[in-house]
Chains A and B, each alone.
Chain A
Amino acid sequence: MTKIDSTLAKTLLEKLWEVRLFEENTSRLYKEGVLPGFVHLSLGQEACAVGACQALQESDFITSTHRGHGHCIAKGADLNRMMSELYGKETGYSKGRGGSMHIADVNAGILGANGIVGQSTTLAIGAALSFQTKKLDNVVLAFFGEGASGSGAVHEAMNIAGIWKLPVIFFCESNKYAELSPFDVHVPIKNISDRSKGYGFKGITIDGNNLVDVYSNVLEAVKLARNGNGPTLIEAKTNRWHGHYEGDPQKYKPSSELDEKNWDDPIIKFQDFIKKEKIISETEIDKIKEIVDKKIIEAIKFAEQSKNPSAEILLEDVYASDF
């Protein structure tokens, strides 16, 4: 098993809480009518985002989905600019033009969240091809869901990645529901990872709520990709605690799944692990949450105090001006 030392444990726990509290606050702000539009939250899936991104280097890239807040935070996006984007403010990542589904930060290795299901995979292999062409040893990790796995784009991406041995990790967050219907409406087999056989690369199904499992498996896949041995398909079985979007009444879920008591909490799981292994003390564990809590409150304040985008911003950036 991969060794988790105290520094790494603190980083991981901090990221987990950043995702959790960002999402919880977003949910609250949406309920209060502060945030508009479509907001797709990743509550319950924090270990996927954090474990996968922690296994990457800063110069590696991810492509993300409509449910992408966690991925961006885990890969190092700025909480203030993210929250500000959700508020539609000028200080946001897209100057208020993109909102929840379109957060990109190239400096942090985030090639962008994409609101069209499945597209993250083809875009990822494009980036991977650029690294292969330029003989760089960077890798790309594409997040997608089991719903996307049925789309043509995903098949085409995996096929090409297999043939060309591209430095890419296909990371499927298999969260039991695609949009508004359960897994078996979308997928005829038990494990998405079985499909990798058809593309000639390794596939593995893991517990996506176990941070250490996610981290160590992605780490291995990254090693393969970085050494020129091509892609891996990792299917992380996890749970989407909330609906497809905030406000979704979730009538398609059995009532037991709506009861918080039954939720498999990846943060509690990780905290239990570090307590058991005595990696960091309980006081430190509590302190991390407090620190993150403050950061999120600051991010919200930052967003609230930021200006609405000026009218000029409407027409900016439609075309690149310098050639």
Chain B
Amino acid sequence: MPALSPTMEEGTLSKWLVSEGDNIKAGDIIAEIETDKATMEIEAVDEGILSKILVPGGSQNVSVNSVIAHLTNNIEDSNNQTQEKKNNISPEDNNVTYKPSQNENDFANYSEPQKTENFISVREALRDAIAEEMRKDDRVFLMGEEVAEYQGAYKVSQGLLDEFGSKRVIDTPITEHGFAGIGVGAAFRGLKPIVEFMTFNFAMQAIDHIVNSAAKTLYMSGGSVSVPIVFRGPNGAASRVAAQHSQNYASWYSQIPGLKVVAPYSASDAKGLLKSSILDPNPIVFLENELLYGEKFSIQEDKETYIPIGKAKKIVEGNDVTIIAYSISVKFAIEAADYLLQNHGVNCEVIDLRTLSPLDEETVLDSLKKTNRVVVVEEGWSICGIASEISALIMERGFDDLDAPVIRVTGKNVPMPYAANLEKLALPCVDEIVKAVKAVSYI
């Protein structure tokens, strides 16, 4: 049973417009569904044979997400191809498929990643997430520059062309605006594109489609057209590539209603969050980090680990000061916490936001209640940044819990310089975090 609006919980399946045994093509109108607000026709997204109708026409109070019929794909077994799965409109839909990670609160592995064969790189984790979801759902495809033959400019898509072929792993010309728009259009009509930007710097060319097409269409279409798309690629400072190739766009996208913004740090989060992003019926901006691609982390070999979007994670437990970070800044936050514990006896709690929009406000505020002091670390610029947003949140909802003003440790407000010494100065570092923690602790 498809959800016709984000709030729909159940509806009436007024009548079937097709019969068992019918050969259905994508786009065929197959049934009429009635809610308290409207009657709508629903279209098939995939083709196949309608092998069994489970909910007859005229049935009332049919819950969203319940199986109403089986569509047999010519290749795959009908049990895996149910029609209701193909009309994911409600943002809530996917919650039912989330399974909390088995090691959600296992911080021990984070502090000293060892390079052993039990560990996988962020790059491999991302690839595995894409491959697993592509195996499950043939509507998912990957598109971008150099993703197929070259196996990804940063080798994230290694092996995918061989497994899925050139119809599902598609090399595009250098036309970010063009292929972002193609992706959004494909998502309008039921496909689930993953659009890779070689880096998010080049997504500036495509920002009109990300903001004006992807983010706003569900709203503007009265909830009738969802845009299940993932825009992904490396974001933030790389190394020595200067201003046009080294920039953190997290706050740009996080400001846009309709987009969800994910920025993981570890390999397991990268994998579990990308899997959830591909399932999610909304446009997701999935911000990776070039410098983290090669970093290895412990990961559970559980293919069904979907990490929920919108949940932060406590990486280090502590009582004295909360350090909040995301993406590569988490690494520096952990190092600063280690240093402060060893040298100053300051017990920091480190929180990895993981998702920037929607922001997990409760985890932030709960930690503040315990420590009463907060430092926010962000690689991007300070002005109108994620760190600014956290500071405002704490001001509005946690003011009485504060024992010191929040301090932001961010990138300097300059275009990224090229010279090694200047680049280092432009980016936040462990030393600055340590100083900030000492300052909020008045030591």
Cα A46 to Cα B230 with chains together (Å): 41
State whether the Cβ of A186 lies closer than 8 Å to any Cβ in chain B. yes
Pair A151/B425 contact, Cβ less than 8 Å:
no
User: How many positions in chain B have a CB within 8 Å of any CB in the partner chain?
Assistant: 36
Evaluate contact between B419 and A147: CB separation under 8 angstroms. no
In the complex, the answer to whether A181 meets B244 with C-beta atoms within 8 Å is no
A323 contacts the other chain (Cβ, under 8 Å)? Answer: no
Q: CB distance A38 to B245 under 8 Å? A: yes
Distance in angstroms from B180 CB to nearest chain A CB is 11
Residues of B within 8 Å of A125, CB to CB, are: none
Q: Is there an interface contact between A179 and B420, defined as CB atoms closer than 8 Å?
A: no
Q: A96, B417: Cβ atoms under 8 Å?
A: yes
Is residue A279 within 8 Å, beta carbon to beta carbon, of the partner chain? no
| Binary contact track A164-184/B, C-beta < 8 Å → 1, others 0 | 000000000000001111000
B413, chain A: closest CB distance, angstroms: 7
Neighbouring A residues of B205 by C-beta, 8 Å? 116, 118, 151-153
Chain B residues within 8 Å of A185, by CB: 149, 171, 173
Contact partner of A309 among B153, B173, B422, CB < 8 A? B422
B-binding segment of A70-78, A98-106, A260-268: A98-106
- The CB with the most chain B CB atoms within 10 A, among A185, A252, A313, is that of A185
- Residues of A near B240 (CB, < 8 A) are 36-37, 88, 99
In the complex with contacts A96-B418, A179-B146, A180-B150, A102-B242 CB distance below 8 A? yes
In the assembled complex, the Cα of A252 lies from the Cα of B204 at a distance in Å of: 28
**Is A318 an interface residue, CB under 8 A from the partner?**
yes
On chain A, the residues within 8 Å of B198 by CB distance are 179
Q: Please tell me if the beta carbons of A314 and B245 are within 8 angstroms of each other in the complex.
A: no
In the assembled complex, the Cα of A85 lies from the Cα of B202 at a distance in Å of 23
Q: How many whole Å from B310's CB to the nearest CB in chain A? A: 33
Q: Is B175 an interface residue (CB 8 A)?
A: yes
Assess the B245–A311 pair: CB atoms within 8 A. Answer: no
CB distance from B173 to the nearest CB of A (A): 4
**Size class of the contact patch on chain A:** 35 or more
List the A residue with the shortest CB-CB distance to B146: A180
- With known contacts A96-B417, A309-B419, A315–B412 Cβ distance under 8 A: yes
Please tell me if A114 contacts chain B, counting CB pairs below 8 Å.
yes
Residue A94 at the chain B interface, CB threshold 8 Å: yes
A202 at the interface (CB under 8 A from B): no
Q: Are A318 and B245 also in contact (CB < 8 A) when A116-B205, A185-B171, A309-B421 are?
A: no
Q: Is A117 an interface residue (CB 8 A)?
A: yes
A148 at the interface (CB under 8 A from B): yes
Q: Is the CB of B146 within 8 A of A181?
A: yes
Quick check: is A89 within 8 A (CB to CB) of the other chain? yes
- Complex Cα distance, B426 from A96, in Å, reads 13
On whether A98 and B418 interact (CB within 8 A), knowing A36-B240, A151-B205, the answer reads: yes
Known: A97-B243, A178-B173. A88 touches B418 (CB 8 A): yes
User: Do A37 and B242 touch (CB < 8 A)?
Assistant: yes
CA distance A151 to B181 in the complex (A): 13
CB distance from B237 to the nearest CB of A (A): 12
Q: Within the assembled complex, what's the spacing in Å between the Cα atoms of A38 and B201? A: 14
B202 touches A116 (CB 8 A): yes
Residues of A close to B421: CB separation below 8 A: 308-309, 311
Give the docked Cα–Cα distance between A114 and B245 (Å).
11
B422 contacts A313, C-beta separation under 8 Å: yes
Chain B residues positioned under 8 Å from A96 (CB to CB): 417-419, 422
Q: How far is the CA of A187 from the CA of B174 in the complex (A)?
A: 10
**Cβ B412 vs Cβ A38 within 8 A:** no
What string of 1s and 0s marks CB contacts (under 8 Å) between A282-320 and chain B?
000000000000000000000000001101011100100
Contact of B418 among A97, A118, A318 (CB under 8 A): A97
**Residue of A152, A178, A252, A318 touching B177 (CB-CB under 8 A):** A152
Let me know if A147 and B244 touch, CB within 8 A: no
For residue A115, CB closer than 8 A to chain B, the reply is yes
B220 within 8 A of A: no
Cα A317 to Cα B162 with chains together (Å):
49
Q: Tell me, in angstroms, the Cα distance from A314 to B419 when the chains sit together.
A: 10
- Is B241 within 8 A of A89, CB to CB? no
Complex Cα–Cα for A94 and B178 (A): 33
Query: Considering only CB atoms, which chain B residue lies closest to A114 in the complex?
Result: B244
A150 in the interface, Cβ–Cβ < 8 Å? yes
Is the pair B242, A98 in contact by a Cβ cutoff of 8 Å? yes
Q: Say if the beta carbon of B145 comes within 8 Å of chain A.
A: yes
Are A152 and B419 in contact, with the CB atoms below 8 A?
Answer: no
**Are B150 and A101 in contact, with the CB atoms below 8 A?**
no
Is there an interface contact between B244 and A88, defined as CB atoms closer than 8 Å?
no
Chain A residue with minimal CB distance to B420? A88
With both beta carbons as reference points, the residue of chain A lying nearest to B201 in the complex is identified as A116
Asked if B178 and A152 make an inter-chain contact with CB atoms under 8 angstroms apart, the answer reads yes
Contact B419 A97 (CB under 8 A): yes
* Chain A residues, CB < 8 A from B415: 97, 318
Which of A96, A114, A308, A311 has the most chain B CB atoms closer than 10 A to its own CB?
A96
Q: Which residues of A contact B146 (CB under 8 A)?
A: 179-181
Per the bound structure, the CA–CA distance linking A97 and B422 in Å amounts to 8
Whole-angstrom CA separation of A98 from B240 in the bound complex = 9
Partner of B174, one of A85, A114, A150, A309: A150
Which residues of B lie under 8 Å from residue A85 when comparing CB positions?
Answer: 418
In the complex, what residues of A have CB within 8 A of residue B443's CB?
A: none
Query: Nearest chain B CB to A28's CB is how many angstroms away?
Result: 18
Contact A314 B412, beta carbon cutoff 8 Å: yes
Let me know if B414 is at the binding interface, CB within 8 A: yes
Residue among B145, B173, B177, B241 with max Cβ neighbours from chain A (10 Å): B173
12 residue pairs bridging A and B, Cβ less than 8 Å apart? A36-B239, A37-B240, A88-B418, A97-B242, A99-B242, A101-B244, A102-B418, A117-B202, A152-B177, A153-B205, A187-B173, A309-B419
Q: A101-B242, A117-B202 are in contact. List 10 more A-B contacts (CB 8 A).
A: A97-B419, A98-B243, A99-B418, A115-B244, A115-B245, A116-B202, A116-B204, A118-B174, A181-B171, A311-B422
